[in-house]
């Protein structure tokens, strides 16, 4: 018995002193990837994959005329090709002096041609199999351009272009109204759901031809990206776009609204800008007379940012006119989303999920031809935004 115990103790001691990480990688052996771009290669079956990696020695965002970053650039971008993403990644080993590390990706961008012709299912398969991919990074469609163009454009104000793109979503949340980022994981869930189609943010390059040079530091408006609507997918292929107004309506319908700024509210004599906050959304789905009925409820508060209207903000009746104008603008946005969806031939609004949850038995009967019922749906709107603040003054600046 004692001999057995001694043997067990010897084995434990041996395991203790020999334990370790056999395949560990030191930090200076890793190339940290912060963004990935995927494009089709015209007239071939290959894909072009762009990798943007951190330059640990980069001290500034100065770039070379090639657009891939000078010796002091904070990031480098390089591309490889392959018939699969895995092959393109394997070829990257011949270019990058370090092992690519994917756990800190800010975003993934797909060229519009890739999204239309190849489809994002290819990406889903690769990303879900890779143990380093966290799936919570942002995803974009490069509208009217390629993913490579997006990744090789350097922007001012931020040394890291990938971080700049990610932060753009947060900064632009006021105009689009979105409070939660649309990630690749959201697209995967939508693709796997019954009659629910992926929606992806559109990213448009508004740079000039010299955006790869140091003049980027002098003309910010010519060297930048802009969020430009939402890409609409049917299953895994891009088929159309919601414009900005329709995208804002989609955000309301899917409960993703944070604060919203409305700049073009029409009123007597001009326009008003109103910031909406504390917004609550509720949508009920029911069946009446054999067709779906959606009761869309929005309520919240807002405050006046600017006005050129001929309204007396100390007068309750005039303030009520402004409130009605704001409510009408929000209803117009939601209606535009539904109207556009009716032209698609399938339901991309996300309302099918709400109907499914509220009416599971009816959904089981209708899901195979849901759009035929959706076309016949009735929509009831009840939007109530209370304008409770007018800022540091009541009326226009030119009024006594």
Residue-wise pLDDT for 113-127, tens only, equals: 999 999 888 887 777
pLDDT one-digit tens code per residue, 130-148: 767 777 788 899 999 999 9
Query: pTM of the entire structure?
Result: 0.79
Element (H, E) at 333: helix 316-342
- How far apart (Å, rounded) are the C-alpha atoms in residues 299 and 276? 10
Q: Per CATH, the architecture of 255-400 is what?
A: 2-Layer Sandwich (3.30)
Counts for the chain of helices (H) and strands (E), in that order? 13, 13
CA distances from 3 to 12, 16, 17, 221, 348 (A): 14, 20, 21, 79, 72
Q: What is the mean pLDDT of residues 303-326?
A: 80
Measured torsion, CA atoms of residues 106, 112, 118, 124, in degrees rounded to the nearest 10: 20
Pairwise CA distance, residues 203 & 148, whole Å: 12
341 touches 349 (CB < 8 A): yes
Q: How far apart are CA 109 and CA 139, in angstroms?
A: 6
Higher pLDDT, 269 or 33: 33
Beta bridge partners of 210: none
Greater model confidence, 245 or 153:
245
CA separation for the pair 259, 256 (Å, rounded): 10
CB 283 within 8 A of CB 295: yes
Task: Report the mean per-residue pLDDT for the chain.
Answer: 78
* Chain Cα centroid distance, residue 124: 16
Annotated domain spans of the chain: 26-242, 255-400
| CA-to-CA dists, residue 384 to 278, 285, 394, 399, angstroms | 12, 19, 21, 29
> Residue 53: phi, psi to the nearest 5?
-120, 150
Quick one: pLDDT at residue 64?
41
User: From CA 195, how far away is CA 348, in angstroms rounded?
Assistant: 8
> Strand runs (DSSP E) across the chain, as ranges?
30-40, 47-54, 75-82, 99-101, 107-111, 138-142, 199-205, 225-234, 237-242, 260-267, 270-288, 291-307, 378-389
Q: What CA–CA distance (Å, rounded) separates 224 from 201?
A: 16
Q: What are 177-209's pLDDT values in tens digits?
A: 676 667 777 887 777 776 678 888 888 876 655
Least confident of 55-59, 251-255, 281-285: 55-59
């Amino acid at each position: 018995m004692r001999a057995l115990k001694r043997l067990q103790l010897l084995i434990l001691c041996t395991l203790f002193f020999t334990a370790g990480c056999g395949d560990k990688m030191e930090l200076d052996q890793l190339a940290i990837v912060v963004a990935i771009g995927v494009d089709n290669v015209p007239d071939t079956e290959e894909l072009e994959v762009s990798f943007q990696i951190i330059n640990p020695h980069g001290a500034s965002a100065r770039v070379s005329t090639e657009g891939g970053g000078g010796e002091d650039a904070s990031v480098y971008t390089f591309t490889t090709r392959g018939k699969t993403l895995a092959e393109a990644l394997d070829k990257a080993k011949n270019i990058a002096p370090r092992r690519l590390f994917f756990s800190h990706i800010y975003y993934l961008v797909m060229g519009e041609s890739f999204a239309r012709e190849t489809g994002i299912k290819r990406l889903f398969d690769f990303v879900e199999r890779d143990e380093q991919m966290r799936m919570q990074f942002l995803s974009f469609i490069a509208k009217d351009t390629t993913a490579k163009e997006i990744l090789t454009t350097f922007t001012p104000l931020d040394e890291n272009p990938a971080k700049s793109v990610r932060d753009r979503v947060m900064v632009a949340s006021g105009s689009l109204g979105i409070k939660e980022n649309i990630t690749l994981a959201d697209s995967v869930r939508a693709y796997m759901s019954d009659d629910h189609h992926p929606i992806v943010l559109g990213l448009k390059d508004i740079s000039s031809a010299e955006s790869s040079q140091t003049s980027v530091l002098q003309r910010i408006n010519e060297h930048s990206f802009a969020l430009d609507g939402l890409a609409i997918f049917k299953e895994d292929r891009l088929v159309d776009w919601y414009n900005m107004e329709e995208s804002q309506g989609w955000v309301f319908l899917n409960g993703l609204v944070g604060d919203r700024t409305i700049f073009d509210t029409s009123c007597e004599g001009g326009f008003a800008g109103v910031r909406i906050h504390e917004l609550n959304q509720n949508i009920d789905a029911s069946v009446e007379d054999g067709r779906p009925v959606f009761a869309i409820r929005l309520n919240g508060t807002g405050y006046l940012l600017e006005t050129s209207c001929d309204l007396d903000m100390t007068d309750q009746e005039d303030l009520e006119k402004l409130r009605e104008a704001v409510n009408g603008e929000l209803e117009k946005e939601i209606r535009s989303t539904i109207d556009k969806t009716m032209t698609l031939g399938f339901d991309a609004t996300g309302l099918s999920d709400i109907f499914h949850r509220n009416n599971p038995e009816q959904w089981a009967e209708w899901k195979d031809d849901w759009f035929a019922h959706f076309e016949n749906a009735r929509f009831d709107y009840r939007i109530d935004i209370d304008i409770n603040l007018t800022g540091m003054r009541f009326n226009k600046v030119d009024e006594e």
